[in-house]
Amino acid sequence: MSARGSIKDMVPYKQDGKSINVLFAEGFKAVGIGLLAKQKLEKHSTSTPAFLLVLEGSVEFQIDGTKCILSGQDFVKIPPSQEHEITALENSKMILIK
């Protein structure tokens, strides 16, 4: 039987900080991320390749000195060991798969 859920319900916005919830973790991990406008995921890196999908809103994604704007349904592949950061330009929800 498959599990069913709602990103809207599982990744709420929080006034006091970012919202990060593991949505699925069997062989790979899917993490829901919710950021209010101007909230930021500070510079960090991942030990495994990752895939970031913006569900709603828009964010500035910065990696390797390059910035790009990602909006709903845009995605980016994140290589391991490369520092990157995300700043919400408006209330935004994303899924990170790694």
pLDDT digits (tens, 9 = 90+) for 16-70: 888 888 877 778 888 999 999 999 999 999 999 999 999 999 999 999 889 999 9
Is the torsion defined by CA of 14, 15, 16, 18 positive or negative? positive
Instruction: Report d(CA 9, CA 82) in Å as an integer.
Output: 31
Label residue 11 by pLDDT band (50, 70, 90). Answer: confident
Structure tokens at 89: 């330009």
- The third-level CATH classification (topology) of the domain covering 7-97 is Jelly Rolls (2.60.120)
Whole-model pTM over 0.85:
no
